[in-house]
C-alpha cells in the first residue's frame, strides 16, 4: 500500500505559484496525479489550455478562475471541473495565499497562449 507522507511531497515552482506533488507514477499511482497548489496573494497565472480533465478544489482562500473566457469568484470549499481542451487562468486578487488540491490523469500537458507546451513534472 503506497503511503506518501506529507514530508515526501515534491515541490515545484512556476509562474509565481508552488505545486507540491503527492500522487504520481513516481509515488505508485498508475492513472492519477494529485497535488496541492499554493497561489500567493497577487498572483496572476497565465492562461493555459489543458489536454486532460482536472478537478480543482479550493482548500483555503479565494480565487478568480477564468475558464474558457468566463470568470468565477470561488471560495474555500468550491470545486471547479475543468474539461479536457479548456483554457484556464487563475488569479489571486486577495492579500492571502490560497491553497488548492488538484487531481487529473497522468500525462497532463498544458499549452500557453504563445504555443509553448508545458509538461508539468508534478503531473507526470
Does residue 123 have a pLDDT over 90? no
| CA–CA–CA angle 100, 106, 111 (5° rounding) | 75
User: Under a CB-based contact definition with an 8 Å cutoff, are residues 35 and 59 in contact?
Assistant: no
pLDDT at residue 118, as a whole number: 86
Distance between CA atoms of residues 111 and 124, nearest Å: 15
User: What is the span of the domain harbouring residue 80?
Assistant: 8-116
123 in a structural domain: no
User: Under a CB-based contact definition with an 8 Å cutoff, are residues 106 and 26 in contact?
Assistant: no
* Each residue's pLDDT tens digit, 5-28: 999 999 999 888 999 999 999 999
Read off the CATH number of the domain in which 108 is found: 2.60.120.10
Buried b (16+ CB within 10 A) or exposed e, 13-50: eeeebbbbbbbbeebebeeebbbbbbbeeebebebbbb
122 in a structural domain: no
* Each residue's pLDDT tens digit, 88-117: 999 999 999 999 999 999 999 999 989 999
CB atoms under 10 Å from CB of 56, counted, come to 21
Distance between CA atoms of residues 51 and 82, nearest Å: 10
Percentage with pLDDT > 90 across the chain: 89
91 in a structural domain: yes
Q: Domains in the chain: how many in total?
A: 1
Q: What is the mean pLDDT of the chain?
A: 94
Amino acid at each position: 500500500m503506497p503511503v506518501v507522507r506529507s514530508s515526501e511531497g515534491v515541490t515545484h515552482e512556476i509562474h509565481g505559484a508552488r505545486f507540491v506533488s503527492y500522487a504520481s507514477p513516481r509515488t505508485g499511482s498508475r492513472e492519477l496525479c494529485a497535488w496541492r497548489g499554493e497561489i500567493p496573494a497577487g498572483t496572476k497565472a497565465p492562461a493555459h489550455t489543458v489536454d486532460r480533465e482536472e478537478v480543482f478544489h479550493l482548500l483555503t482562500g479565494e480565487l478568480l478562475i477564468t475558464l474558457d473566457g468566463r470568470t468565477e469568484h470561488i471560495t474555500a470549499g468550491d470545486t471547479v471541473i475543468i474539461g479536457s481542451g479548456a483554457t484556464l487562468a487563475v488569479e489571486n486578487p486577495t492579500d492571502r495565499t490560497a491553497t488548492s488540491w488538484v487531481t487529473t490523469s497522468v500525462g497532463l500537458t498544458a499549452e500557453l497562449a504563445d504555443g509553448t507546451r508545458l509538461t508539468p513534472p508534478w503531473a507526470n
